[in-house]
A and B are shown apart, each in its own frame.
Chain A
Amino acid sequence: MEKEKSPEESRKLLDKITFDLTRSIVKRDELTNFWYFILIMFALVGLWGWGIQVRDGLGVTGMRDYVSWGMYIANFVFFVAVSLIGFLISSALHLLKIKWSKVISRVAEQVAIAGVALAGIIIVMDMGRPDRFLNVFLHGRFASPIIWDVTVVTTYLTISVLLFYLPLLPDLALLRDKGSDDIPQWKRNVYRILALGWKGNAEQYKLMAHAMRILMILIVPVGLSIHTVTSWLFAATLRSGWDTTIFGPYFVAGAFVAGVAAVIIVMYMYRVRYGLKDYFEDYHFNMMGKLFVLVCLVYLYFNINEFFVPGYKMKTAESIHLSNLFTGKFSTMFWATQLFGLFLPITLMVNKFFRKPLPITIISVFVLIASWFKRYIIVIPTLEHPFLPVQNVPENYQHYAPTSIETMITVFSFMAAILIITILAKMFPVIAIWEYAEEKGISREIISEPKN
């Protein structure tokens, strides 16, 4: 925290910070409209595809009796993975008292909320009978990992929303009291309601800090659980490729890689689009780059364990699965994900140059795409090779290929996730104004004083 400034200086600085950080809320131009149009249009096309799927049955997908989980489940795992970054940045790093990640907290929570919300929606879209969704609550059997997953995913969503909302309160009050006239009136009405009468006195700050601390500790086991339990959907079966004890930590480590990549991309977008060069500084990208290398190394370690150990032994069923990945049908996808998702980011980002904003963002895009395909080859190859031969069924039962309707619905999930992030960015400051102002030495009295 910097030295206390004089009230005059403070007010001037606070105005500038508020102005910069509300640019995303004020800004509404052609590009914004176009962006919304694209997102909503593609999302609607996907929803239409889902309508067809509900009408005609899951047979409109490429899934059949052997590969009975396909792109939807891979996509579900991807979204759960991405959402885990909220836990890492806004809780784990905070609890470790790491300072630089503070400005990134809100971005991480946006990504977490969008990711986990979509994960929940995708699972419903994968159901053969979505109309019976309530059976999960009416007839839930607690011995099924699906019930555990439903439990932890909804808990994680709740805590993530609270972790986003609570530190937003002082900002909402600030915008309610001092927001510029450029902010649309309806948004200011929303702020007035959502601010819950925040006054900014010491007692309120104390309560908030207390609540935040509880939530940050609570989200540690819940966050670890969501992805561990998701991995158990596979590890709880007997199939080669899934039947492994390291799936929990392997998935968690992979989730951090995907999540860091997603957050870097969103940070870069905000930095460029909303002119936040002085907020998402080169320094933050540099630090994120270091974190990136760290989580990649951990993930690499788990990958080596996951593939080297069974590869060394080559048990019958495992060897079919592994040959399929290493040299068979999925080899291109497998080696591409290892190269672009792990090997290249590690080797490049140990150099300072590649931790600069633009290079690291480009790397992140590759890593994020690779992480999506990584989930694809975790789900599909195993199912294509059951223990007993696949016989007396049509050709399309033997190999899985996603159909256009499946692709449409998957595109929907991406568009809906980006839409959620966009709406959050357009509604609320992407960095906590009050927290940032405090870092700059502006006192709480000045932050919470009414407009003069």
Chain B
Amino acid sequence: MSGSLAARDLSVRYETPHGSVYALRHVDIEAHPGEVIGIVGESGCGKSTLVTALANLLPANARIDGSISYNGVDLAKLDAHRQRLLRGDEIALVSQDPMTAFNPVLTIGDQLVDFQHHRKDLGRAQKRARIAAMLGRVGIADAERRMDCYPHELSGGMRQRVAIAAALLTDPGLLIADEPTTALDVTMEAQIIHLLRELRREYNGIVIVVSHHLGVIAELCDRVYVMYAGEVVEDGEVDAIFHDARHPYTQALLACDPARFQERLDRLPTIPGSLPNLTQPPSGCVYAPRCDRAFAPCGSVVPPRVKLSASHIARCHAVTP
């Protein structure tokens, strides 16, 4: 079963001894079955908070406002027990760091059997058979033997494959891959991207890929949300974002991607300034303090949603359709 996902006016704040941290503010996200959604932004932009909220895994000090509707159900209003029943059944998360994502003292097979706990109709032997088949599908040779390995006996790339297999085993309607390649070297990264591209052809649910790596997003996604300091600043089809970016932040981000340079530079470009303090987010545009096109209203007025095409939206005073 798969349905559409829509987050409306979603805000998350963390209550800390030093005050509230407004990690996510007024975010709108939409995704439909069969779509691969990319979420991109630098470290600290709130992309992990966003997917953690979608997976109902926020820590106890997080307060959530707005709605996350999945399949017509508001996930944010479910009680903890019903949220838990969705996790590992309808919603699956491929964790960030394959090196630490698995329990070090249990075998891979043992953990993957447990992760299928929602499938009460299957016995242990059937669950193991599914694991072996799925491990084979994500490109792990000798799957039967690998199941009896402990995580530290597998390489990083192999563990990331196991993490993807684990998520796919649960047949989720919503698959979230949080930085699926960040902890891997370049060769491994290419292999995992290749694997994800292959898998998306057979998979009908929603995939959300989070990355700060523009290349990963460009390779995998249909639509992209660009985030900055807890807000979505621009979103659109992958081509529109990569070839016709309109928000100054997206443009600056693309300009800083070393993979896109034509020639060798002595000095890599950066965006001057740093992220605003999220305990007191700016009242106008969050990017204004670092923006070279900022003018009078940017500091005090929330930027409008400028519709550039049916699916391309930028939130900026300086952008006109």
A and B co-occur in one complex: no
Task: List residues of A whose CB falls within 8 A of some B CB.
Answer: none
